[in-house]
Amino acid sequence: MLCYPSILQELYEESREAIQHVAELLSKSLEMPMIHAPDEVTHPRELFYDTVYHLTKEGSQHRSELLFSGLQHHLPKLPYEVSRLQQDSMVR
């Protein structure tokens, strides 16, 4: 699965066209689910500290919630198989 990194809203707006172009190329060429679109992982400046690569605690929590909701949406679509090792170790 592909998950885009968090990005400062201002930077996303400045590069929206280029980011959307890359996202379109990726969606056409990769055979994997995309958890979010790039515009869904934008955050306001107050959720970053130090640099635009570091989320605050609140920003990290928000990012984790986005990731969790995206995974919940996609995981039921994936095949589930219990491995032989897991089967052997199950309590009966």
Report whether pLDDT(86) > 70: no
Domain assignment present for residue 21? The answer is: yes
Report whether pLDDT(91) > 70: no
Range of the domain at 57: 7-89
Domain assignment present for residue 36? The answer is: yes
Domain assignment present for residue 64? The answer is: yes
Report the pLDDT averaged over residues 20-38: 93
Report whether pLDDT(81) > 90: no
Provide the pLDDT for residue 24: 96
Name the pTM for this structure: 0.71
Provide the pLDDT for residue 26: 94
Give the span between the Cα atoms of 84 and 48, in whole angstroms.
44
Report whether pLDDT(92) > 50: no
**Rounded to 5 degrees, what are φ and ψ at 63?**
-60, -45
| Structure tokens that stand for 8 in this block | 């400062």
